[in-house]
């Protein structure tokens, strides 16, 4: 297509397009055009061009992309990809309790700016060093501190967005009077408020019944978050987590927190998984800031690739950490690796208070057959965080002949279900163990598990496992009241399973929501909802899956 309004940078050459054909998922889609918008105004012009082309019957769309760390295929497209990291990458303001940012800012730079005021956005993901704010908001990211602080949606105050007609608006919490004024608007923005008010009001019972009852969810559209307690509406909470399918955000105001200054960690080495629910039940009342875990496969592989991990950290730090890993290396050599390593970290204003919390948590487990260890400061606990945060990247880079294949990677179940759910999950995975090995890490405090199979996707039988195993895992998750994704979102890999999770009636509400915001299906088609001719099917999974 030719651009009439958009005058910014646009590239069609093969090399530039190939740069954006992959994220960290198992999919590949080569865009036809790569654009680098410099402002909301340029993005608005781009949307107007695409809208005009769609009205004339052209199969063209826009997919937003920031750092490309998505694990679902969310930022992949064969049409136009709008990349924000080149120009729209500024932290615009940091106040006493908030920050205003553009989507192309890397989280590491965002945090550097907020820490100058002693503040952080606590919902950062494990990929904090390479992720950007665009995806953090679009996926409603969560991470190691979400147990205490919640996910990104909790911190989104305002979102400046380009709508599917090219208009620019700001979504935020509205009072009843402000909502009434918005309902009187002509044009798309008024249509959105009128249509969504009708949708959530007429279907309030269904929406509440289908709302996932676990602590975190990124599946579907968060229709249960649209209405405010005082009868107003807040579409910023809906756009957060919508994966760029409803509107394209260009500026976000995010509330921040002042973190506690000191941390101590209780490490629990678990050899009997049946004890896990009771360990979690006893530790949670001590209010850990994070309660993480990783399994024996992750532990063993991390020790195996320890040199590669340490090489990136500078000689002095690498030497110190290398020495600290000696006990773990001995565990691997002697076959004494525990089934699960749990990390409960306690944050307080003084190191003495943090140590006391960790000691109290350890005391609650004194009569259980578990091995425990207290790391009295962040320097001592650093090696555990390195394994937890770096394992996925290490596996992707080092297991030649196999790729890390995130397709059942982000399930959530209630912690009280562990004693029944985990043995059933383990038995199910073992039925396919001839096709892959896998690692499990996760947020054990709120039931969010990241299962990463390591697979040779060049083999047709192995590729078929992706479609055979996922619905069986999700049946089990749903049986225990869980959800298919707590943080990573739907994308290509999970959109076709939304009916399995929510049922046909709720999925129709998702489709209606998409149609209210984006009637021409301009934005990231085939993600979150499957519309006629717009993707979101199992065929997308098989067609676009990498084969090596």
Return the domain boundaries, the chain.
Answer: 91-255, 260-398
User: Which residues, in sequence order, are CB contacts of 257 under 8 Å at separation 6+?
Assistant: 119, 120, 121, 122, 149
The DSSP bridge partners found for residue 452 are 439
Phi/psi for 450 (5° steps) reads: -110, 105
Q: Is 118 left (phi over 0), alpha (psi -120 to 50) or beta?
A: left
Q: Is the pLDDT of residue 272 over 80?
A: yes
- The model's pLDDT over 91-115, given as tens digits with 9 standing for 90+, comes to 999 999 999 999 999 999 999 999 9
The CATH number of domain 91-255 is 3.10.180.10: no
CA 237 vs CA 157, 173, 227, 234: distances in Å: 8, 9, 9, 6
What average pLDDT does this structure show over 84-94? 98
What average pLDDT does this structure show over 193-220? 97
Average pLDDT, the chain: 92
Q: Which CATH architecture has domain 260-398?
A: 2-Layer Sandwich (3.30)
Q: Which is nearest to 361 in space by CA: 380, 345, 339, 382? A: 345
- Residues 220, 202: Cα–Cα separation, whole Å: 19
Residues 466, 545: contact at Cβ < 8 Å? yes
Band of pLDDT at residue 318, cut at 50, 70 and 90 = very low
Residue that has been written with the tokens 């405010």 in this structure: 228
Which range is least confidently modeled, 70-84, 352-366, 519-533?
519-533
Band of pLDDT at residue 40, cut at 50, 70 and 90 = very high
Q: How far is CA 483 from the centre of its chain?
A: 13
Q: Is the pLDDT of residue 321 over 60?
A: no
User: Which residues, in sequence order, are CB contacts of 343 under 8 Å at separation 6+?
Assistant: 265, 266, 267, 290, 291, 292, 293, 381, 384, 385, 388
Residues 524, 77: contact at Cβ < 8 Å? yes
Same fold, 91-255 and 260-398: no
The DSSP bridge partners found for residue 483 are 412
């Amino acid at each position: 297509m030719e651009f009439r309004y958009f005058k910014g940078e646009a590239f069609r050459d093969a090399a530039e397009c190939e740069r954006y054909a992959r994220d960290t998922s198992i999919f590949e889609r080569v865009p036809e055009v790569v654009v680098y918008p410099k402002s909301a105004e340029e993005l608005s012009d781009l949307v107007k061009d695409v809208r005009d082309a769609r009205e004339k019957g052209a199969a063209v769309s826009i997919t937003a992309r920031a750092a490309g760390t998505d694990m679902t295929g969310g930022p992949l497209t064969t049409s136009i990809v709008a990349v924000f990291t080149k120009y729209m990458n500024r932290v615009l303001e940091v106040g006493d309790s908030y920050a205003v940012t553009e989507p192309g800012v890397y989280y590491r730079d965002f945090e550097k700016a907020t820490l100058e005021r002693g503040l952080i956005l606590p919902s950062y993901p494990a990929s904090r060093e390479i992720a950007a704010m665009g995806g953090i908001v679009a996926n409603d990211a969560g991470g190691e501190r979400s147990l205490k602080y919640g996910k990104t949606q909790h911190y989104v105050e305002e979102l400046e967005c380009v709508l599917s007609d090219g208009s620019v608006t700001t979504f935020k919490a509205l009072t009843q009077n402000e909502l009434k004024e918005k309902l009187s608007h002509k044009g798309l923005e008024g249509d959105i408020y009128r249509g969504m008010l009708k949708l959530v009001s007429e279907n309030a019972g269904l929406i509440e019944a289908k709302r996932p009852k676990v602590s975190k969810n990124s599946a579907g559209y968060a229709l249960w978050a649209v209405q405010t307690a005082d009868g107003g509406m807040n579409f910023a909470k809906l756009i957060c987590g919508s994966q760029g399918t409803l509107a394209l955000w260009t500026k976000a105001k995010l509330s921040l927190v002042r973190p506690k200054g000191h941390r101590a960690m209780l490490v629990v080495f678990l050899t009997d998984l049946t004890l896990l629910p009771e360990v979690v039940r006893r530790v949670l009342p001590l209010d850990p800031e994070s309660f993480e875990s990783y399994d024996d496969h992750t532990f063993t592989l991390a020790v195996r690739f320890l040199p590669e991990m340490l090489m990136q950290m500078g000689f002095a730090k690498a030497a110190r950490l290398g020495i600290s890993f000696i006990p773990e290396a001995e565990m691997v050599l002697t076959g004494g690796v525990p089934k699960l390593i749990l990390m409960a970290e306690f944050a307080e204003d003084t190191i003495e208070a943090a140590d006391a919390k960790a000691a109290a948590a350890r005391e609650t487990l004194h009569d259980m057959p578990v091995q425990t260890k207290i790391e009295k400061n962040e320097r001592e606990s650093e090696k555990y965080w390195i394994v937890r945060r770096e394992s996925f990247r290490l596996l992707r880079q080092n297991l030649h002949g196999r790729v890390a294949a995130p397709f059942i990677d982000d399930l959530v179940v209630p912690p009280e279900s562990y004693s029944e759910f985990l043995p059933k999950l383990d038995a199910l995975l073992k039925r396919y163990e001839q096709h892959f090995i896998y690692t499990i890490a996760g947020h054990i405090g709120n039931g969010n598990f990241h299962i990463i199979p390591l697979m040779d996707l060049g083999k047709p039988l192995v590729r078929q496992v992706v479609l055979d195993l996922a619905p069986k895992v999700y049946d089990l998750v749903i049986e225990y009241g869980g959800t298919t994704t707590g943080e990573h979102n739907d994308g290509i890999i999970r959109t076709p399973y939304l009916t399995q999770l929510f049922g046909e009636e709720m999925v129709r509400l998702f489709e209606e929501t998409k149609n209210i915001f984006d009637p021409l299906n301009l934005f990231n088609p085939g993600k979150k909802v499957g519309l006629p001719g717009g993707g979101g099917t199992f065929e997308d999974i098989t067609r676009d899956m990498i084969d090596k």
